[in-house]
Amino acid sequence: MERTAAWRNALPSCLLLFAVYVVAGCLCLGLTIGPTYASPLFPSAGIALAAIYTLGPRLLPAVALGAITVNLFPLANGVAVDGSQALAALAAGAGAALQAGIAMLFLRRTMQPAIGASRHVLTFMLSTPVLATISSTVSMTGAVLLGKVAPADMALNWFTWWLGDTIGILLAAPLTWIAIGQPRVLWRRRRMLVGLPLLLSGTVFIAIYFQAEHWESAQQMQTFRLKAQQAGDMLQAQFSEHERFLHAMSRALGDPRRTLAADDFSALATGYLDKRPELASMSWLVPVRRDQRDAFEQWGKEQLAPDFEIREVAGPQQLQRASDRELYMVPTFIEPPRTRLYRGIDLLSEPLRSDAVIQALRTGQPAASAPLNFLQKQSARALLLLQAVHPVGGGESPGMLMISLQVEPYLQRMLQQVNFPSLLVRLEDITGGTGMPLVDHVRRPARNGDVQRVISFGGRQYMLLVAPTPAYAAAQRGWQSWTVLTCGLLLTALLGGMMLLISGERAQIQAQVKDSTARLREREARLQAILDKAADAILTIGLDGVVLSANGAAGRLFGYPPERMAGVPLATLLPPRENQTPAELLRLIASGDAHEYEALGYRSDSSDFPLAISVSEVELPDEHLFVAILHDLTEQRRAQEHIHRLAHNDPLTGLDNRLSLNLRLDQLLARARRMQGTAAVMFIDLDHFKKINDTHGHQTGDLLLVAVANRLRDMLREVDTIARLGGDEFIIVTDCDSTPETAAIVAVRIVEALAAPFMLAGKTVHTGTSVGVAMYPADGEDSATLLRHADTAMYAAKSQGRGNFQFFSSSMNRATHERLLMENRLSQALEKQEFELYLQPQVAMTDGRIIGAEALLRWHHPELGMISPDRFIPIAEESGLILPLGDWVLRRAAQLLVTWREQGLGHLRLAVNLSARQCRGTSLVPLLDKLLADNGIAAAQLELEITESAAMQDPESSRTLLQALRARGIKVAIDDFGTGYSSLSYLKEFKLDRLKIDRSFVKDIETDPNDAVIVSATIALAHSLGLEVTAEGVETEAQRAFLCSKGCETAQGYLFAKPMPVEQFEAMAAAITA
């Protein structure tokens, strides 16, 4: 029962060993060469030896079965296994099991499992070649006796088998022991020292072998490729020759003065066929209509054969009288005589032949049929080549020539002409993408090394595949690569033996050292346990300033393992003052009045940290030492620094906050007063920061602020102060040596640095900055005044278009006051109805008639008079008053359209400008819906103009808005086109009706060729996109003529009329209409 249980427990190991043995063996079968079926590398022998040596003889059946399985492959050679092959495989299995068993008995007696001593390694290395003779001798003897190996080949096969087992054992046995050998600790350590070199060197030599084999094979297969190419060239040349012959004959027969007689055709065909025995026949086909059939059959009986009639195929080798049809294509003259039984068979009665006939008649070129079978030999694949004859002067074809060839004999003759018997060919018709085989001697899919060639014949495509015979391919294996592999693997095996020897001696040395070290550590551990109970770091230090011992807390404090603290100089941990010894420092601390002494300590990584130390001097009979207790002050200092940072620094960017800025600025101004120096205060505000927050999110906005702070730090001096007031506002204060010139240089650098794009969390973010500069003492003598004036200058920079800097001036105070006053008057003007619409006519370029007008806003102030839009529109845009002002304009425009409808001017359209804020808001579309519905206005009468720059501030939102407007029927125009930075891709996607060319381009088209080109290109671009064009600012007749010549549809400008009150425009439009 115990024996049965033992075998049952060994079953999984047997199955695993069997699988590994078979896989490893089969992988090496590809290394066989010449008349042998043995491999120069057989790792399965090493795997079996190591497994049996380690796990015992119960695994021998797995070795025997694995060897039998592996040896059946080369013996069977891809066919069913017969009795002699099975017996030869059994002999190989017996030899492999016998070899593994004898090796186990011998090696267990002569060496230890660890193979650690040099004599054990030498025993393994020297005994392996002797042990490897067992399997090779038994296996080869059986193979020769059973007739599977010729006696003449026995010596080579035996040597190859022996060599493969020898190298396999030397390589695979150590690798197997690394996986399963005992003791496991030792063998695991050998993974890098023994296993890795064996695997790497073995892999390298095998790779070199395959590369060398590839070079050999490529060189030796060159003859095959040349012959294969020659065969393809010959086949294509012969096919082309047939085409040229038929084409030439058709041109000769196309002469209406020439009549083809039977004797003429016989001489012509016989002369061509005798030189080309690969052709089956040549025929002359005559077209016969239904009404000509009886006369033609009568002629055939008189001239060709008494039983002649037009026939068709009824079945395999069966003919019948042809059915009634409109047209027949009948062979009359055929050579050689043995093929004349095909006379009278209508080629239009069978689809494959009929398709070729129709193709030849249609194209006038040689046409080949699809693969077909001869009527008498159904198994013979054939091709027909037809050429229609067309009269020189035109008219119906009198007939056509046809050549038939049987493909199999045709290709055989071609191969005989190539004179290379080791070629196999496959020819298939690939016309239309579907392969139709004609001949296939290869009988397998295409492989690497086969030669494929596309052949053209009669308008069809054929794929010729030429492959070497298996015998030729097998004969191309050379011995050079085999020799390289064998020598390389032998060197690898010797390397493995040397690594085993080195690793064994190293293991013995390590074991001895480990034993001594363990005893020493045990004594130290008992002493260290006493000190490790203390929570604080404790050091004992000798008079020479070297640490004698330390507890665990000290090791953690200084970053050393506790066992490495002993012997560390105190100067490394706690550097003394200059000209002071460590003992003097310790005595100074020990004799001090203070309870603790604060100093700077250094960790093992050279980082410093604050600590508190108290020292006691101890005098023993045989030793004088110091006992130091140390406490880390890092957390205490970090807490203090954190409190200070919260009070004085911005938590997001780490810059000074408002409190710290005021302190530093006051100190700087006090120093400047004493030194009679100057200073500069710069107020920085980011451009479009709110838009960035709204578009990309506040997290991206925070990242931008941090990136801006970093750029400012990188470009400024350490003596300069950088602070963040909040939001996107930063302050820079330069030192006492600042002048307006140096401040301007710094401001320019700031503007340029912050104009460069930022990469934030994978996004590219563009911003800019406006900088205001106030100088001390010219612009203020206290911090509050300087900050306020720098702020004023910053707003002046923003009003100049952003992305620049401005120095403070007294006029800015006045401008600020005027701006606030204007903003207040604007809000009152809306309530007091001080605004009015002026209209500028828009006229058709062709006849000058008024087609509409553009609404322009005017402000009549009771005290200031007429205020230019250039003065109040920017203020309204910035303050937000543009939204109610824009709503008033739209409501007034709706009233005008109602009035025009009542006055009979309903055909006029009215263009209204939209501001950027209106486009970004959400109330525009609902307001338009309400105005159109309440007033009953036709949406097409209202045209809304959006400037190019406003549309491109947020292209996606603009596209959504324009789609909504177009969906309601409202016309949309892009105003001031060419002055912005729009992309053509966006222009294509925007839903527009009209482009308006800015007056800056129109005014110089007579004198500036560049403006003329721009205007012409803009008009052409608009027309290509299906848009109309309106030109602004037309003031001369020459400008009008130029625009008209380029196809501009409408225009406005002083040439036609200036902006005018509504009543004047209505009167003008009514007069023209009347």
pLDDT of residue 185: 73
CATH code, domain carrying 914: 3.20.20.450
Angle between helices 2-27 and 43-55 (to 10 degrees): 160
Residue 689's closest CA among 569, 572, 584, 769? 769
CATH code, domain carrying 617: 3.30.450.20
In a domain, 930, yes or no: yes
Q: State the Cα–Cα distance between residues 952 and 949, nearest whole angstrom.
A: 5
**3-class secondary structure, 873:** helix
193-217 average pLDDT score: 66
pLDDT of residue 489: 59
Across all residues in the chain, what is the average pLDDT?
Answer: 82
Residue that has been written with the tokens 């239309």 in this structure:
432
pLDDT of residue 690: 82
- Please give the helix or strand (H or E) that residue 465 lies within, else none: strand 460-468
Token pair of 271 as six digits: 């002369």
Q: Is the pLDDT reported for residue 894 higher than 90?
A: yes
Q: State the Cα–Cα distance between residues 401 and 246, nearest whole angstrom.
A: 7
Q: Give the confidence band of 214 by pLDDT, cuts at 50, 70, 90.
A: low
Q: Give the confidence band of 227 by pLDDT, cuts at 50, 70, 90.
A: confident
In a domain, 278, yes or no: yes
Q: Give the confidence band of 322 by pLDDT, cuts at 50, 70, 90.
A: confident
Q: Give the confidence band of 1048 by pLDDT, cuts at 50, 70, 90.
A: very high
pLDDT of residue 985: 58
989-996 average pLDDT score: 85
* 728 and 852 housed in the same domain: no
* 171 and 297 housed in the same domain: no
* 157 and 255 housed in the same domain: no
- Tens digits of residue pLDDT in 825-841: 888 888 888 899 999 99
Token pair of 1032 as six digits: 């602004």
* 232 and 203 housed in the same domain: no
> Edge-to-edge, what's the strand order for the sheet holding 423-429?
436-440, 423-429, 460-468, 451-457
- Tens digits of residue pLDDT in 135-194: 889 888 888 888 878 887 788 788 778 877 887 787 777 878 878 878 777 777 777 666
pLDDT of residue 478: 52
- Tens digits of residue pLDDT in 394-410: 777 788 999 988 888 88
pLDDT of residue 1074: 58
CATH code, domain carrying 385: 3.30.450.350
Which of 370, 403, 421 terminates a domain? The answer is: 421
User: What one-character-per-residue DSSP string does 200-217 give?
Assistant: HHHHHHHHHHHHHHHHHH
Cα–Cα separations (whole angstroms), residue 35 to 29, 70, 87, 160 = 13, 18, 20, 11
Q: Residue 194 in contact with residue 174, Cβ under 8 Å?
A: yes
Cβ-Cβ contacts under 8 Å for 924 (sequence gap 6 or more): 914, 918, 961
Which of 220, 252, 269 terminates a domain? The answer is: 220
pLDDT of residue 596: 66
Output phi, psi for 1035, to 5 deg: -125, -15
Residue 321 is which amino acid? R
* 214 and 231 housed in the same domain: no
903-925 average pLDDT score: 88
**3-class secondary structure, 824:** helix
- Tens digits of residue pLDDT in 594-615: 556 778 888 888 888 888 888 8
What value does the CA radius of gyration of the chain take, rounded to a whole number of Å?
A: 52
Cβ-Cβ contacts under 8 Å for 599 (sequence gap 6 or more): 574, 610, 611, 613
* 877 and 980 housed in the same domain: yes
Domain extent at residue 610: 532-638
* 578 and 685 housed in the same domain: no
Q: Is the pLDDT reported for residue 378 higher than 70?
A: no
In a domain, 1008, yes or no: no
Among 3-7, 604-608, 678-682, 880-884, the range with the most confident prediction by mean pLDDT is 678-682
In a domain, 501, yes or no: no
**3-class secondary structure, 114:** coil
In a domain, 1039, yes or no: no
**3-class secondary structure, 640:** helix
Residue that has been written with the tokens 């590219």 in this structure:
764
Q: Residue 915 in contact with residue 882, Cβ under 8 Å?
A: yes
Residue that has been written with the tokens 């690497």 in this structure:
448
Residue 208 is which amino acid? I
pLDDT of residue 414: 79
Q: State the Cα–Cα distance between residues 350 and 688, nearest whole angstrom.
A: 81
Q: State the Cα–Cα distance between residues 656 and 443, nearest whole angstrom.
A: 85
Name the percent of the chain lying above pLDDT 90.
15
Residue 603's closest CA among 627, 568, 579? 568
* 700 and 803 housed in the same domain: yes
Q: Residue 250 in contact with residue 366, Cβ under 8 Å?
A: no
Q: State the Cα–Cα distance between residues 840 and 755, nearest whole angstrom.
A: 40
Question: Among the listed ranges 116-120, 145-149, 752-756, which one has the minimum average pLDDT value?
Answer: 116-120
* 96 and 10 housed in the same domain: yes
Q: State the Cα–Cα distance between residues 588 and 580, nearest whole angstrom.
A: 10
Q: State the Cα–Cα distance between residues 116 and 136, nearest whole angstrom.
A: 30
CATH code, domain carrying 19: 1.10.1760
Q: Residue 159 in contact with residue 34, Cβ under 8 Å?
A: no
Q: Give the confidence band of 4 by pLDDT, cuts at 50, 70, 90.
A: very low
Residue 474's closest CA among 41, 149, 35? 35
Which of 170, 199, 220 terminates a domain? The answer is: 220
* 25 and 172 housed in the same domain: yes
Token pair of 658 as six digits: 């408002």
In a domain, 205, yes or no: yes
- Tens digits of residue pLDDT in 257-312: 667 788 888 888 888 888 888 788 899 999 999 889 888 888 988 888 888 888 88
**3-class secondary structure, 708:** helix
In a domain, 828, yes or no: yes
Residue that has been written with the tokens 């249980």 in this structure:
5
Q: Is the pTM of this model over 0.75?
A: no
In a domain, 448, yes or no: no
Residue 545's closest CA among 631, 601, 626? 626
* Runs of H (alpha helix) within 275-406: 293-303, 351-363
Q: Is the pLDDT reported for residue 76 higher than 50?
A: no
Cis peptide leading into residue 336 (ω within 30°): yes
β-bridge mates for residue 721, sequence order: 733
- Tens digits of residue pLDDT in 7-22: 456 788 888 988 888 8
Cα–Cα separations (whole angstroms), residue 392 to 242, 251, 256, 258 = 22, 8, 7, 11
Give the number of domains in the chain: 5
* 237 and 370 housed in the same domain: yes
Residue 903's closest CA among 726, 1068, 720, 787? 1068
Q: State the Cα–Cα distance between residues 429 and 312, nearest whole angstrom.
A: 26
Q: Residue 433 in contact with residue 324, Cβ under 8 Å?
A: no
* 135 and 20 housed in the same domain: yes
Q: Is the pLDDT reported for residue 250 higher than 60?
A: yes
Q: Residue 678 in contact with residue 739, Cβ under 8 Å?
A: yes
Q: State the Cα–Cα distance between residues 326 and 1014, nearest whole angstrom.
A: 69
pLDDT of residue 34: 46
Q: Give the confidence band of 708 by pLDDT, cuts at 50, 70, 90.
A: very high
Q: Residue 172 in contact with residue 45, Cβ under 8 Å?
A: yes
314-324 average pLDDT score: 79
